[in-house]
Structure 1
Amino acid sequence: MTDEQHLPVPASVTQATAPSRPMLDLERRPGSDSESGSDRRLAWGSRSDVGLIRDHNEDSYLCRPPLFAVSDGMGGHAAGEVASSIAIHTIAKEAPTTADSAQLGAAIEAANMDVLTAPETGRGREGMGCTATACIIEDDRMAVAHVGDSRLYLLHKGALVRVTHDHSFVEELVDAGEITADEARVHPSRSVITRALGSDPDMYADHFTIGVEAGERVILCSDGLSSMVTDAEIEDICVTSASPQVCADALVSAALIAGGHDNVTVIVVDIRNDGKEDIRRRGRRRAVLAWVGVLAAFLAVAAVVLSLFINSTFYLAPSGDTVGIYQGMEGDFLGVPLSHLVEETDVPVASLPEAVQSRLSEGISVESEDKARTTVEDYRRQIQEAADQAKETADTLKSSGDQGGAAS
């Protein structure tokens, strides 16, 4: 493996799984590498081990969320690992950034051409090849592309589902009903691959998209796992392992304990957030914003209507010692006055009848500014008439007094 394909395992990774299952200390094994990490949507762990028989590891893998891939090299020393490394490098370069299975399949097909032409530039040798299984997980969709017998499983509600279909001779026998899946694992021809990268320029990759959801677990592996460990045991380990890295280590450990006849590589990805809650949250936010918009529009309309109403309303009330003409409504809203003084007249409030003074103190509504001015003129006329009448009365009394004095 190269640094481009994987990074050293973090020291904090714990090697543990179900208490009753034996575990190997993979951290101290030479030729054993891992990578783990997490983000807001996914958590992943991986483990690649040379096994107990081989002296070199021909597997390569890629953990570059949301893209994950496994490739199992074929062709012997200095060839198989080159083929798988080229495949992973090309897939990483050509894969789409979204869950587009057709483009992901095209990336594997591009990797096939790179493996085929590599010997021309001195990389590897003629006849080398590899498998490739890759996926891109985007929200509640997973694009899968696949060639060979490396597998992708999905753990859904505690049940393990094999998503990919092996391109192998024994898989064809299983499909034909001639052998069982358990018999295929130990069949003498189990290593015969019917489709692989590096064998045919016209090779094509199977590709498809499936739905996924939060809480599901995705497993990619080379046949070093599936040929040594039954699907039932893989399911049991996946169900009982707390984290992706723990699960990957437990699966590799199980393959080694079963014999470790081949290189074994496992990637485990937990779907933490499938985006549905984000969609619901955005929906709620849009609904709130819509209601806020409706409320704002209502308040704006109400404000316009209120403004028109206020601007068309007038009343008379005291302004100091005289009668004032006001536009608007008497009072205030949240401390903001709803009216303003249009004119302070010279009509003294004290000169008006007490009944009128009482009404003025409460505000006398009028239909318009012209009506307000007419009313003020009426007040002024009434005051003048009262003054004239008082003067006339005073003059009459004085005249009567003068006549009485003259008579005596």
Structure 2
Amino acid sequence: MPIALHYAARTDLGLGSKSRNEDSGYAGPDLLILADGMGGHAAGDVASSTVVGELVALDGEGVGADDALHQLGEAVKRANDRLRDEMDHSDDLEGMGTTLIALLRTGTKLALANIGDSRAFMLRGGTFSQITKDHSFVQALLDDGRITPEEAEHHPQRSLVTRVLTGRDDDVPDLSMREAQIGDRYLLCSDGLSDYVAGSTIEDILRGSQTPAEAADRLVAIALRASTRDNVTVVVADVVDQSEPVHNQPQVVGAAAALGTAGDQAVEAPAPLTPAEKAAALSREANTPLNQQPPPEGPHGPQLAEEGPRSPRAAWFRWGALGGLILCVLLIAAFVGYRWSQQQFYVGEERGLVTIYQGVPQDFGPFSLHSVDSKTDIATTDLPQFYRDRVDSTLSASSKNEAIRIVEDLRTEMVKCQTGTADGSTCTP
């Protein structure tokens, strides 16, 4: 039976320190893409949007089933070559990279390409499963039996990737083909969701949502409630009978939309459904120029019929008492928040050295919420590029002992690269 895809794509900057969205997402009639850019100052947003811009031409091309996997693999190779070209033309982009998941529909089959630690899941009947395998340090520990799946879910180094698209010749994705069935629901997500929200919760939301749009909105919302410090992007798609009415307007979100790299595809802006978007809409209303607002009624604003004349002194007293109460609450919250922040640790960089910090990597106005606890003798330039990128982005730890363990693991990876005993794909500077 002919099938079609009913889809939705959503993204959010997240609650961390990133000032720009480095994720890119695309959802179209025959193609779903999610890319999580990395590189910090080396333009992860450029990397993810560049790859999406190269792959989007596959949508609507009517690729045959026998040729789909080959065509997808070649498109990924062209996208990777484009990254190399971009870096060759700009030193500022050197070191950028991106994860990638791409699903290409051909007939009733789906060609899948995956590289990095972004994830794809499938909900089919009573079964919820991850259909991609992470290319990450933690996945290697899992494969070796050194940690359990439960330990992997909260491992402090779960963001350390071992293979992504960086413009190198050996950046080759995993390719596979699967049969789609009507009723399947697919999710592509960045680690801004999967690192902060349990798999069981993701499954519950996918099962309990009527439409892909509802599921996508709820997944982004739950990631924000879980205080995700990373960009969070999701693409949700249902496999439906081709005869059913399907919304066929492509959707582009994240860096690919902001930088305009999705080719000539039309971009649909999702309706403002999230609390953050509603707040932005209310803020725009509140900032309407005074000459566009209705004039107040009476000398102190509108007066209810049952009220008597208002006393300016009483009004000032009420507002003063309310302001004092609010100030007290804010001061208490600030004190509690500061105490909590000083019980946290993370690993970052200080003057070229891997450094353990106490606190959180944020500032509150003129006040810094972090300080150097101890410096190591590990130069960030001696780390493999992607471990260096993760140190630049900071690695959170549940305690100082956990931070020390992270440092020792980084030292191990550095030594492996220096002695030539590690996988070559992880040791390219």
TM over 0.5: yes
- Residue 272 of structure 1 aligns to a residue in which SS? strand
TM-score (norm 2): 0.53
Q: CA offsets per residue over residues 22-81 of structure 1, 9 Å max, x none?
A: xxxxxxxxxxxxxxxxx9822111111110112221001111221110000001146000
1:135-284 aligned at under 5 Å gives the runs: 135-198=103-166, 200-273=168-241
Aligned to 1:45: 8
In 2, distance between residues paired with 1:180 and 1:92? 37
User: Is 2:3–2:242's contact at 8 Å kept on the other side of the alignment?
Assistant: no
Q: Quote the residue 1:372 is aligned against.
A: none
Equivalent residue runs for 1:53-92 within 5 Å: 53=16, 54-77=18-41, 79-92=43-56
- The answer as to whether partners of 1:160 and 1:231 remain within 8 angstroms in 2 is no
What is aligned with 2:266?
A: none
Conservation of the 8 A alpha-carbon contact between 2:31 and 2:58? no
CA displacement at 1:145 relative to structure 2: 0.6
Query: Quick one: structure 1 residues 132 and 124, their matched pair in 2 at CA, closer, same or farther if it must change by over 3 Å?
Result: farther
Closer, same or farther: CA 173–97 of 1 in aligned 2, 3 Å? farther
Contact 1:153–1:219 (Cα < 8 Å) also in 2: yes
C-alpha contact 1:214 1:274 (8 A) present in aligned 2: no
Separation of aligned partners in 2, 1:274 and 1:168? 37
Within the candidate set 67, 73, 81, 1:113 is matched to: 81
Q: CA deviation at 1:256?
A: 1.1
- Offset of 1:150 from its aligned partner? 1.0
2:121–2:130 contact (8 Å) kept in structure 1:
yes
Q: Tell me the CA shift for residue 217 of structure 1.
A: 0.4
| 8 A Cα contact 2:3 2:182, kept in partner | no
Give the superposition deviation at 1:88: 0.6
Letter in 2 for 1:209: M
Decide whether the 8 Å contact of 2:197 with 2:222 is kept in 1: yes
Give the letter aligned to residue 41 of structure 1: A
Q: What is the CA-CA distance between 1:114 and the residue it aligns to?
A: 1.0
Match of residue 335 from structure 1 = none
Change (3 A) 1:97 1:180: farther
Does residue 134 of the first structure (1) align with residue 102 of the second (2)? yes
Q: Percent identity?
A: 41
- Where structure 2 has 5 or more consecutive residues not aligned to the other structure, the ranges are 244-429
> How far is 1:124 from its partner?
5.2
SS in 1 for 2:40: coil
Distance apart, 1:199 and its partner CA: 5.4
Q: Distance in 1 between matches of 2:8 and 2:225?
A: 20
Whole-Å separation in 1 of the counterparts to 2:125 and 2:242: 15
Q: 1:274 deviation in Å?
A: 6.6
- 8 Å contact kept, 1:116–1:201: no
Contact 1:140 1:213 in 2 (8 A): yes
Residue 271 of structure 1, CA deviation: 0.6
Q: Which has the higher contact order (CA 8 A, sep 6+)?
A: 2
The alpha-carbon distance between structure 1 residues 274 and 147, as it changes in their structure 2 partners (threshold 3 A), is: farther
Counterpart-to-counterpart distance in 2, 1:102 and 1:124? 33
Q: Quick one: distance in 1 between partners of 2:156 and 2:80?
A: 27
Give the Cα–Cα distance (whole angstroms) in 2 for the partners of residues 156 and 123 of structure 1: 46
SS of 1:72's equivalent? strand
User: Are the counterparts in 2 of residues 228 and 258 from structure 1 also a CA contact under 8 Å?
Assistant: yes
CA contact (8 A) 1:132 1:146 kept: yes
Aligned equivalents of 1:40 and 1:124: distance in 2? 44
Contact 1:58 1:84 in 2 (8 A): yes
Distance 1:70 1:49 in 2: 14
Instruction: Identify which range, 196-205 or 162-171, moves more after superposition.
Output: 196-205
CA contact (8 A) 1:67 1:136 kept: yes
Q: 1:82–1:123: 8 Å Cα contact kept in structure 2?
A: no
- TM-aligned CA deviation for residue 119 of structure 1: 2.1
Q: Distance in 1 between matches of 2:228 and 2:6?
A: 27
Deviations 1:357-379 (A, max 9, x none): xxxxxxxxxxxxxxxxxxxxxxx
- Give the structure with higher Rg (CA): 1
Map of 1:102 onto structure 2: 70
Give the whole-Å Cα distance in 2 for the aligned partners of 1:124 and 1:245: 37
* Matched letter for residue 48 of structure 2: S
CA distance in 2, matches of 1:123, 1:63: 32
Q: Distance in 1 between matches of 2:12 and 2:45?
A: 13
1:57-115 CA distance string (max 9 Å, x none): 10011112211100000011460000001111111136764351222122112211111
Residues 66, 138 of structure 1: 8 Å contact kept: yes
Q: Aligned-pair distance for 1:126?
A: 0.4
Q: Structure 1's 92 and 194: CA in aligned 2 closer, same or farther, altered over 3 A?
A: same
Aligned partners of 1:75, 1:151: CA distance in 2, in Å?
A: 19
